[in-house]
Chains A and B, each alone.
Chain A
Amino acid sequence: MRRRGLYISLVLVAGICVAAWVGPGRGSVAGPTPYKVAYPAYFGNRVNLREDNPLTEEGVRLGRFLFYDKRLSRNGAVSCASCHQQALAFTDGRRFSVGFDSVLTRRSSMSLANLLWVRHFFWDGRALGLEAQAMVPLTEAHEMGQRMDSLVPKLTRTGFYGPLFAAAFGSPEVTQDGIVRALAQFERTLVSADAPYDRYIRDEYTMTPAEMRGLKLFFGRAVCGNCHGGPKTFDETYHNNGLDKGNFRDSGRFDVTGLDYDRGRFRVVTLRNIALTAPYMHDGRFKTLEEVVDHYSDHIEPSETLSPTLKDLANAPARMGLTKGEKGDIVAFLRTLTDTGFVRDKRFSDPFVGQQARRGEALAGPR
């Protein structure tokens, strides 16, 4: 008993110490406000937050403006949101995206949902962290084509960003580092966790019989869940999913590692909102979910690096031979991953829209 009393008083002292230490700092310097990302416990806490870029309300706000600002491209033609449109779960509905100069990208635009749990970015995982990722499309010759040393003065001249940078990072100076940090902060807040499937997990939604049969197939006999398992529906692994018979037009992960067994391997992506993110695969070769399920059921191609998950016991490409009904059930389940709240969430939408309505074109020129 006495021991417990001592323990409690120690905790109290510790609590007071923390309060005393935090108190004056917060009172005297109005720093940015920490941003708390809400997500369900069943997503787990293996989040990829960076100590040197903590999420703050002000940083996320700045990042949101930058994400939707076409001035970030060389000629003002495209913003991040051009290829990552909220209504399409931050994809663009095309096989390949159109850069500022109308040249097409090499791979299909990726959905931006639940990136907080991702460590390796792009289809080949070449960027370690969202900060490093953001630099690539910004500066890529045929994406936004923007030299960072000219972007900084360009954004400084707008006069619009100084106060936003000051609020987020303590100085009105527009910096390259601040741009990518803020973009990364905004992207980390894009959590999609309120699809019918989530409500099913939370016991708030009853799956239809077809959706339920699809769920059982997905996590069972059709082995989709081997790579797209768990409530987040992805495992951050690389697989060759049997799209081609060797001689890959796109070597995928091999381009990053130079190791032969990585030829034709691509990162397993989330299936959240998958009904909104057509076309599918790194090269957007499949127009519909039905085509995707057909591929996994009947058309896996052999190659030396084909994922073991997609081979049968004789090491040949698996032929699941799902019936038409079973394929339909899986597609029905995939549609329960559509989070309509996520694609309409005002926190993720174009912040310039309201501003322009209120202020006309006074917003520091065209963007």
Chain B
Amino acid sequence: MKKILGLLAAVVICCSATAQGGAAYSVKVSGEVVTPLTLTAADIIAMPRTNATAKDRHGEMHSFSGVAIADILNKAGVTTGKQLKGENLAKYLLVTCADNYKVVFSLAELDSSFTDRVVVLADQMEGKPLPAGMGPFRLIVPGEKKPARNCMQVVGIAVKFAKD
């Protein structure tokens, strides 16, 4: 029942967004990139899908799906894989959420040549759009003790150089 209510709430929010002229949600990819991107829900759903799991506040496990951050970085032309060496190891990712909450990753933390862990920009939970308050886009960082980097309502991904 709760799930249905949640879904209904999501539908209502989506509808009210268009009805009241609320702007479309998107994620901006900027900074040390060849191609800056503004990814909408349609762009993200069209990219290769990846799954991840995370516990909620009750300790219950949920399945999420979305796009690997690494794929987004490759699409934007970030120095990943074989290029991730030398000064490029001093690059970091600054993820900004709608409420201006920010978290940081080093590029190496997100790269398959360094780690098997896949950090996902999720747009679905249990096969449905993320519930209001969480989505439309959130990070899922598997295997972390604290959920603080599983941040909600992501609006921006900026690749930056640590310049010191």
Residues of A within 8 A of B (CB): 120, 125, 236-239, 254, 257-262, 265, 304-308, 313
**Is B100 an interface position by the 8 A CB rule?**
yes
Where the two chains meet, the residues of B that have a C-beta atom closer than 8 Å to any C-beta of A are 9, 13, 16-17, 20-23, 25, 57-58, 98-101, 132-133, 152-153
CB-nearest residue of chain A relative to B153? A261
Q: Are B99 and A259 in contact (CB under 8 A)?
A: no
Taking A238-B98, A262-B98 as known contacts, 15 extra A-B pairs with beta carbons closer than 8 A to each other, sorted by chain A number, are: A237-B99, A237-B101, A257-B98, A258-B22, A259-B98, A260-B16, A260-B17, A260-B20, A260-B22, A261-B98, A261-B133, A265-B99, A304-B132, A305-B133, A308-B133
9 interchain residue pairs of minimum CB distance: A258-B23, A260-B22, A237-B99, A238-B99, A237-B100, A260-B17, A237-B101, A259-B23, A304-B132
Q: Are A304 and B13 in contact (CB under 8 A)?
A: yes
Instruction: For the complex formed, measure the closest distance between the CB of A357 and the CB atoms of chain B, giving whole angstroms.
Output: 45
Kindly state the separation between the CA atoms of A239 and B100 in the bound complex, as whole angstroms: 10
Q: How far is the CA of A217 from the CA of B10 in the complex (A)?
A: 35
Chain A residues contacting B23 (CB-CB under 8 Å) are 257-259
Q: Count CB-based A-B contacts (< 8 Å).
A: 43
Contacts of A260 in B (CB 8 A): 13, 16-17, 20, 22
List of A residues within 8 angstroms of B57 by Cβ: 313
Contact A304 B100 (CB under 8 A): no
Q: Contacts A261-B132, A313-B57 given; indicate if A304 touches B9 (C-beta within 8 A).
A: yes
With a cutoff of 8 Å between Cβ atoms, the chain A residues found around residue B22 in the complex are 254, 258-260
* B99 in complex: contacting residue of A239, A254, A258, A313, CB < 8 Å: A239
User: What residues on B are CB-neighbors of A236 within 8 Å?
Assistant: 100
A20 to chain B, nearest CB (A): 26
> Which residues does chain B contribute within 8 Å of A265, judged by CB atoms?
99
A306–B133 Cα distance when bound, in Å, is 8
A307 CA to B98 CA, complexed, in Å: 12
Provide the residues of chain A in CB contact with B17, threshold 8 Å: 260
Q: Quick one: which of B58, B100, B101 contacts A125, CB cutoff 8 A?
A: B100
What are 23 contact pairs spanning A and B, CB under 8 A? A120-B100, A125-B100, A236-B100, A237-B99, A237-B100, A238-B100, A239-B99, A254-B22, A257-B23, A257-B98, A258-B23, A259-B22, A259-B23, A259-B25, A261-B25, A261-B132, A261-B153, A262-B98, A265-B99, A304-B13, A306-B133, A308-B133, A313-B57
Please give, as numbers and ranges, the residues of chain A lying within 8 Å of B100 by CB-CB distance.
120, 125, 236-238
Query: When chains A and B are docked, how far (Å) is the Cα of A305 from the Cα of B153?
Result: 11
Q: What are the residues of chain A within 8 A of B21 when measuring CB–CB?
A: 258
Q: Which residues of B contact A257 (CB under 8 A)?
A: 23, 98
Residue of chain A at shortest CB distance from B136:
A261
